[in-house]
Amino acid sequence: MFEKKKTIVVFGANGCVGNSVVNLLENQGHRVIKVVHTRAVRDRIVKNNPDDECRFADVGKYEELRRVANRFHQESIGLDSIIYAVGKYEKGGCLERKTSSVNRFSPNMIHDEITAQLTGLLFVFKAMLPNLVDNGSIIFVSAITHGDFSHEVITYVEQERIIELMRNDSLVKQRDVLIHHLGFGPIRTHYYDEVWLPNGILSVELVTKEIAAALEFSGATSFTKLP
């Protein structure tokens, strides 16, 4: 399908969507480098799959991202693409958030949501941009219209404004980097409890194919997809 095999970094590689993307890209023959949230998760992945290339970094901590970026530079790893599929959503968490008032949400949960949806986008962009090859790409994956707190703090529209600023960055233009923004409605992941599911819901397989297809886009694109 691709003219050449790519070196691709996937942030959120151990999540439902991220892991599915990793598997598809590896099956297509690409070199995939996983980035997960903690050292413990990285160690578990490498223990079970010693051949996996896996790094760890909290996307909300810029110094950790710079550590990963510096390793890429030291190892002369040029990145063709970066996929940001980060979500800090616990199993079955949607039902609780739909039935709880905002004043009952923990400070850590609120912090994690803003980190995943806003801070992480900006930090990954800034830290990893120098590691991208000319004509490389970044794919930001967002959630839309889930109707609960976790996706209303920072909306797809607000993220799009930030991504437009990224597209107008002087280094992005100089290097011909493409930045894509893919927004998906509810996806059937562990976030949803089987007791409650939205009226419409997307499959992980469909979303994975859409993300992988974005690697072939010839121009920067933004789109949303609902069930």
CATH number for the domain harbouring residue 143 = 3.40.50.720
* CB-based contact 153:113 (threshold 8 Å): yes
For helices 62-74 and 120-128, what crossing angle results, to 10°?
30
* CB-based contact 145:83 (threshold 8 Å): no
Residue 62 belongs to some domain of the structure:
yes
Angle at 18 between CA 180 and CA 163, to 5 degrees: 25
Residue 2 belongs to some domain of the structure:
no
* CB-based contact 7:77 (threshold 8 Å): yes
For helices 156-167 and 120-128, what crossing angle results, to 10°?
20
CA distance 33 to 22: 9
How, if at all, do strands 31-36 and 53-56 pair?
Answer: parallel
- Supply the pTM of this predicted model: 0.92
Q: What is the pLDDT of residues 182-206, one digit of tens each?
A: 999 888 887 776 656 667 789 999 9
Nearest alpha-carbon partner for 57 in 46, 72, 69: 69
pLDDT at 1: 47
CA distance 43 to 223: 35
Q: What is the mean pLDDT of the chain?
A: 89
pLDDT tens per residue, the chain (227 residues)?
446 799 999 999 999 899 999 999 999 999 999 999 999 999 999 999 999 999 999 999 999 999 999 999 999 999 999 999 997 666 656 666 666 677 777 788 778 888 888 999 999 999 999 999 999 999 999 988 665 555 566 788 889 999 999 999 999 999 999 999 999 988 888 777 665 666 778 999 999 999 999 999 999 999 999 88
Beta strands in 100-184 (DSSP E): 132-143, 178-184
Residue 26 belongs to some domain of the structure:
yes
Angle at 193 between CA 188 and CA 195, to 5 degrees: 115
pLDDT at 173: 97
Residue 156 belongs to some domain of the structure:
yes
Residue 72 belongs to some domain of the structure:
yes
How many helices (DSSP H) and strands (DSSP E) are in the chain?
9, 7
Residue 56 belongs to some domain of the structure:
yes
CA distance 19 to 176: 28
Residue 133 belongs to some domain of the structure:
yes
Number of domains in the chain: 1
| Residue 44: CB atoms within 10 Å | 14
* CB-based contact 148:94 (threshold 8 Å): yes
Residue 1 belongs to some domain of the structure:
no
Residue-range definition of the domain harbouring residue 200: 7-225
